[in-house]
Structure 1
């Protein structure tokens, strides 16, 4: 009787272990789907109540803003950088992120600022608006709700850009930078707000749309086809050599704006700017040209990171920048499941973008016909009232 009881317990234990193994296998197989579903707001966008809109006259509506955006000294960088940030907010409750989400703030401060804003701080004062961006979930699905959430985010970015131009720019050269989701929104700014304004377009140093697909046959602005040429567009999406599925996915699933302001799938290969060459080109760029990659995550804001040269080579293939895997172990994705689906905590082209922006700015400023920015008048002086003599 004791033996039968023992055998029963053994069989129950084996059956329990088998069930646990099946469950664990299922979790591993469907892990991405399970985690992605957890980010779904589960409410149609049409009935969704978004977070309050930012007020761009309030400093709190900007992630980065000069100490005194209305004035600048002779030592200040000569241009302005308008930076549209990438996906910071995971999702779950909202389609569009509240602008005061603490976790998103930490991700920007630790990762995005040091790695993606950093290359441009020597060239320009940085203006980086907070906006009700589409959540990470909107980047992982092609549902109409997700597209509507990203269209909604553009309205904040456009308001921020118009406020920046009216209140702070004062005719200064402009560098437009957008990363990933922010790059998609910046591409529409480029088409609607800059391309249609000849005076503003003349002041454009360059638009850098990092990890952003735009149509090569119908780009929103003139592409950069020569190094140090100002007033042009540098945009690319990338994959590591051997990541053929990722490269094809970028061609098939990347979204661009159509003429009706809707996000639609690419109809052809994306534009491919090679940061190692400083131009749109099919030419292979060897690693000896790479000016410096860096993992600046966690670096104190304003500190210059150490750059590692010759880390990667790059070549455009059917519109996707195929990059060799870096030699250093510092360039590996880290963090949570959600963090690994956002922009990486390193920038393989930090030194290349830094040098590229400074060269294009120098060319623009060297043009004797380029209009110099007028300093805004921010101080007033009381003038004594002069007597008025009437003439009959």
Structure 2
């Protein structure tokens, strides 16, 4: 082949490679939206809410209607390797924990509490890696409820609202049962994540904030994964406040864990409940951020040195892996907890888009949450001249949670 022919072939090959490269880039750009559209279609219930039969309501007098209870062996009893556990009879406060969405099906608008897949996720993923963070300070109560399917978050349709309302009605009944039969005047934390935080926030607005007795019993609320808009503190949460410092009590905490360029505004796409009975468009409204490394409101600096340990998801009966400290840094910037560094593998599954650590809101800061819940509880006891809850010097023998 002549030199001129070789040049033509090289030029042709170059054009082909450019075209292939462009097509490849387009496929990559289109892949995520196409996968999202397919997933959205797959989990959309096939019938309107009004044409479906709601799952049987949980009976909260039955232990089977609870994912976690004191004196029961469950996944909320788990502790990370080499981390001391507090005996239940030494925990003088309670945590009422509301789990996030684990039902990702189009079979119904709300999950039956015994639906196998979502129930397993509640136990092995949520109770073990989220609710267990509160077993140093508190006895943990976590009701099973007819959670709304994940589709409710894909766009605020009237049927999605109805599914949330049904789920919330279970949470309210469970909370009232807990207060009547088990609380006995003990101080408590209310905690949740994502959909659980939505229900927990409304629970406080409607049943705690305006009740002097319950308001005094509330140590704090931990609601990552759902925005708490600042106007709520004047409209529906007063006199409760933002938790501005690590030992502030009678207050609320929220954060969204994102990367530098993660989109926080998407969490404002859903209309939000405002008492007495309205849902408002909250696009562009400012919401709080409490830094889960320093526990200071709107703190932009959470250094590696103050990060006490992250835990990776680990299914099964085995203990939670040992936390790894000084691996995460970040701060409250542009309405989100933006991590600037994650020196740990296993936190790169972004189910809700690039730079969105939503499913790791607890895992990344697990030991900071565990320590702060205990410190805040002790601050509450000190405030009211009650005996402090202190961690044991030695770890007592523990049994692995049952499946």
Q: TM-score range by the shorter chain?
A: 0.7 to 0.9
Contact 1:89 1:136 (C-alpha < 8 Å) held by counterparts: yes
Report the CA distance between 1:370 and its aligned residue: 5.3
1:357 and 2:373 matched: yes
Residue of structure 2 in register with 1:155 after alignment: 169
Q: Which moved more, 1:289-298 or 1:348-357?
A: 289-298
CA distance in 1: counterparts of 2:120 and 2:270, whole angstroms: 27
Report the CA distance between 1:162 and its aligned residue: 0.3
Contact 1:212 1:235 (C-alpha < 8 Å) held by counterparts: yes
SS in 1 for 2:125: helix
Report the CA distance between 1:68 and its aligned residue: 6.9
Report the CA distance between 1:368 and its aligned residue: 4.5
Residue of structure 1 in register with 2:79 after alignment: none
Residue of structure 2 in register with 1:249 after alignment: 266
Contact 1:240 1:322 (C-alpha < 8 Å) held by counterparts: yes
CA pair 314-227 structure 1, distance change in 2 beyond 3 A: same
CA distance in 2: counterparts of 1:277 and 1:333, whole angstroms: 25
Residue of structure 2 in register with 1:366 after alignment: 382
Residue of structure 2 in register with 1:285 after alignment: 302
**Counterpart among 24, 31, 51 of residue 47 in structure 1:** 51
Residue of structure 2 in register with 1:347 after alignment: 363
CA distance in 2: counterparts of 1:180 and 1:282, whole angstroms: 22
Equivalent positions of 1:1-392 (< 5 A) are 30-67=34-71, 75-219=89-233, 220=237, 221-243=240-262, 246-250=263-267, 252-266=268-282, 268-298=285-315, 300=317, 303=319, 305-333=321-349, 343-344=359-360, 347-369=363-385
TM-score, structure 1 normalization? 0.80
SS in 2 for 1:125: strand
Report the CA distance between 1:174 and its aligned residue: 0.3
Runs of 4+ in 1 over 4 A off after TM superposition: 25-29, 334-337, 368-372
Contact 1:76 1:125 (C-alpha < 8 Å) held by counterparts: no
CA distance in 2: counterparts of 1:88 and 1:140, whole angstroms: 15
CA pair 358-46 structure 1, distance change in 2 beyond 3 A: same
SS in 1 for 2:249: coil
Contact 1:222 1:232 (C-alpha < 8 Å) held by counterparts: yes
Deviations 1:342-369 (A, max 9, x none): 7349711101111111111111112345
RMSD over aligned CA atoms reads: 2.9
Count of residues in correspondence between the two structures: 342
CA distance in 2: counterparts of 1:359 and 1:192, whole angstroms: 27
CA distance in 1: counterparts of 2:219 and 2:317, whole angstroms: 27
SS in 1 for 2:280: strand
Report the CA distance between 1:283 and its aligned residue: 3.3
SS in 2 for 1:30: helix
Residue of structure 2 in register with 1:14 after alignment: none
Contact 1:114 1:299 (C-alpha < 8 Å) held by counterparts: no
Report the CA distance between 1:277 and its aligned residue: 1.5
Contact 2:110 2:149 (C-alpha < 8 Å) held by counterparts: yes
CA pair 132-61 structure 1, distance change in 2 beyond 3 A: same
Contact 2:298 2:333 (C-alpha < 8 Å) held by counterparts: no
CA distance in 1: counterparts of 2:223 and 2:361, whole angstroms: 17
Report the CA distance between 1:335 and its aligned residue: 9.0
CA distance in 1: counterparts of 2:352 and 2:377, whole angstroms: 38
CA distance in 1: counterparts of 2:293 and 2:97, whole angstroms: 22
TM-score, structure 2 normalization? 0.77
CA pair 28-123 structure 1, distance change in 2 beyond 3 A: closer
Q: Which moved more, 1:155-164 or 1:228-237?
A: 228-237
Contact 2:258 2:357 (C-alpha < 8 Å) held by counterparts: no
Contact 1:123 1:361 (C-alpha < 8 Å) held by counterparts: yes
Contact 1:236 1:270 (C-alpha < 8 Å) held by counterparts: no
SS in 2 for 1:315: strand
Contact 2:65 2:143 (C-alpha < 8 Å) held by counterparts: yes
Contact 1:99 1:131 (C-alpha < 8 Å) held by counterparts: yes
Contact 1:333 1:345 (C-alpha < 8 Å) held by counterparts: no
